[in-house]
Every structure is written in C-alpha cells, then in structure tokens.
Amino acid sequence: MKVSKKYLLQQGPMLYVVGRTFVQTLLPFLKKSSGDFSGLHTKTVSPPSTDLQEIYKRWTGAEEKRYNGLPPHMLSQFGLSFGLNVLNQLKYPLAKIINQGVEIKSHQTLSGHHNIDLETEIISVEEENGRAKVRQKMMIFEKGILCIEVLLFVSFIIGKKQKTNAKKTQEEELTYKSIGKWSVQKNAGFEFGVLTGDLNPLHWVDFIAKATPFKSTILHGFGMYAKVYEMIQNSLDVNLKVMGVKFIKPVKLPSSDLEVKVSEERNKDGDFELELLDAEGNKLMVGSYNF
C-alpha cells in the first residue's frame, strides 16, 4: 500500500529524537545525561489524526471494524518518543540501542479523540557481558483511566559480547499450528517510519544498513509486533488483552512467506505462545498472548 509522506507532518517528536541521535553520534560531547534515572516522568500528548489512525490500521492489517479507537500498539507513534527521551537521560548513546522485546497489556481502548496522558519510569539497568540491559514501564491514560500498560526491554551496546555457556531453559512441549503468512516489500521500513516518525536509516537507507551486521534494511520491531498482533486477532477472531514478545532476529527487507504459528494449548502461566518464522524456518520473534 502507498503511504503518503504528508504524515511526516505529525511526527515532530519522534523526528526530533531521530535527528538528535544523529547529531549526538557525530558530536558525542553534546549528549547530556543526568546519571539519575529514578522517578516517574509524565507527559500529555495529542492523539494522532483520524486519517493517520486509519492508514496505520490498514498498514498493520487490522480488520476494518476491529477498533473503535486506537490499536494498543499504535503507542509507537504517540508514546515511544517520550520513552526514548527518558532513556536519553542515561549515559548510553541511543545510537547503540537494541530493541529486545515489548509487552503490551490493554485494559481499555483509547478513543483517539482526547489527549493522552503518559507516565514512564526506568525499572532497572544492569550492565553485563558488553550490554546494558534496561527495563522501562509506561502507563497510558485517557481522561484519568488507565488504558494501556507497556513494558519495554532494550539493551545498549557498551562493549564486546563474549560467548557464554549458559544453559538454555527447558521449553514446554506445546503443539503449534500455522495461522498464516505475510510479506513485506522493500519500502516497508520507510512506510512504517512515515507512520510513526521512526526514520532511523537502518530501516530504509541501503548504504547505511549494509554497513551494519544485518547487511540489509530491516523492519522495525514494533512493525513486526503490530503485524503479528493483528494476524492473531484476525485469524482467531479475538481481541487480545496482552501480548509480550522477544525479538530474536530482524525481518530483512524485502521478505516473503513470514509465518506466524501459535500454540494450541496454554503454557504453565495460562497463556498461548507464538512464533514468527522466516521462509527458512528460523525464529525471528517468540512470545505469548492472552485474550
């Protein structure tokens, strides 16, 4: 589908974050960090326009009458820049950030017609084996009512990662079924960037992406998440209450025959499990969900 560049006019906060990260990479002495990440941070933002809401829903594959408001994962458009601004207060450069996972719990649908109140705090920071692992929590309110809870899991590259002999945890033996496949074109990274403001060149500029370990442009983690979220809802005809995932490998652009599998039984925690596989059967994303 074609995504108009006009939506960039609504992406000021995220475009500022992307631009600032670029400048701080070139001139690292400009990065200011308080060194203190404690405390709750708050902000009130306007909802995305109705036009942007609709084109975002279509891009993610949401059924036409699924939402009477905003999809929970659309926080990547109106809330993620706020979370990144808080992370920027840490001593680690945002250019070294890796999105490792996210859990979104939906309590009530955001109408998309009222201001949105955001609260976020960094829960923990742990440095080990060349990475600084950060857990961040965000609460999203509308008219004083908690609508969405989000846990964000990121890490910053702070050194060379050493191989470890850590034992893998034993996985439950569950039966999985395929619920469908999806594909993304070469320009999917740019499209999602226009819809959310996240125009990190890794997602759409070839010569920059080829200089990275991925050797290719890749789809945003939130783009992967949103596509799978909507495929599960459409296939099972449910409204998800919670979905948490871990990103293992990126979706390279373009990619076809990306398969979503879900467990037929619940795990020991009472949730169903999911997998996103590439055409060769490699796991790109794993997680769980409930409804």
The pLDDT tens digits of the residues spanning 178-206 come to 999 999 999 999 999 999 999 999 999 99
Specify the 3-state DSSP secondary structure of 254: coil
Please write down the HEC assignment for all residues of 96-110: HEEEEEEEEEECCCC
Q: What's the rounded Cα separation, in Å, for the pair 180 and 259? A: 6
pLDDT, position 35: 63
pLDDT, position 117: 98
Mean pLDDT of 102-129: 97
The residue to which tokens 């080990």 are assigned: 128
Tens-digit pLDDT profile for residues 155-176 = 999 999 888 776 666 677 899 9
pLDDT, position 257: 98
Tens-digit pLDDT profile for residues 272-290 = 999 999 999 999 999 999 9
Q: Where are the beta strands (DSSP E) in the chain?
A: 41-45, 97-106, 116-128, 131-142, 145-157, 176-184, 242-247, 255-263, 272-277, 283-290
pLDDT, position 170: 67
pLDDT, position 166: 63
pLDDT, position 33: 73
State the sign of the Cα–Cα–Cα–Cα dihedral 134, 269, 138, 247: positive
Q: What's the rounded Cα separation, in Å, for the pair 220 and 203? A: 7
pLDDT, position 167: 65
pLDDT, position 34: 65
The pTM for the full model equals 0.95
pLDDT, position 154: 98
Q: Quick one: pLDDT band at residue 131, thresholds 50, 70, 90?
A: very high
Q: What's the rounded Cα separation, in Å, for the pair 1 and 55? A: 9
Label residue 257 exposed, middle or buried (CB < 10 Å: 0-12, 13-18, 19+).
exposed
Tens-digit pLDDT profile for residues 16-49 = 999 999 999 999 888 877 666 779 999 999 999 9
Question: First and final CA of the chain: distance in angstroms?
Answer: 29
pLDDT, position 31: 81
Q: Regarding beta strands 116-128 and 131-142, do their DSSP bridges make them parallel or antiparallel, or are they unpaired?
A: antiparallel
**Domains in the chain, start-ordered, CATH in brackets?**
5-159+174-290 (3.10.129.10)
Please determine, for residue 80, whether its predicted confidence score (pLDDT) is greater than 80.
yes
Contact 226, 71 (CB under 8 A): yes
Angle at 200 between CA 278 and CA 11, to 5 degrees: 115
Contact 142, 232 (CB under 8 A): no
Q: What's the rounded Cα separation, in Å, for the pair 232 and 243? A: 10
pLDDT, position 1: 80
Specify the 3-state DSSP secondary structure of 132: strand
